[in-house]
Chains A and B, each alone.
Chain A
Amino acid sequence: GQNIDQPTEMTATEGAIVQINCTYQTSGFNGLFWYQQHAGEAPTFLSYNVLDGLEEKGRFSSFLSRSKGYSYLLLKELQMKDSASYLCAVTQGGKLIFGQGTELSVKP
Chain B
Amino acid sequence: GAGVSQSPSNKVTEKGKDVELRCDPISGHTALYWYRQSLGQGLEFLIYFQGNSAPDKSGLPSDRFSAERTGGSVSTLTIQRTQQEDSAVYLCASREGTGDIQYFGAGTRLSVL
Residues on A facing B (Cβ under 8 Å): 4, 31, 33, 35, 40-45, 48, 87, 89, 91, 93-101
Contacts and interface: CB of A to CB of B under 8 A. Distances in A.
B59, B101, B102, B107 interface centre (most CB from chain A within 10 Å): B102
Nearest 9 CB-CB pairings of A with B: A100-B42, A98-B43, A98-B42, A42-B104, A42-B106, A43-B104, A95-B45, A95-B48, A45-B101
A40 to B, nearest CB: 7
Nearest to A88: B42
Interface string B33-48: 1010000111111001
Interface of B: 3-4, 31, 33, 35, 40-45, 48, 50, 56, 59, 91, 100-107
A96 B102 contact: yes
Contacts of A94: 31, 48, 50, 56
13 contacts: A42-B107, A43-B91, A48-B100, A94-B31, A94-B50, A95-B33, A95-B56, A96-B33, A96-B35, A96-B43, A96-B102, A98-B44, A100-B42
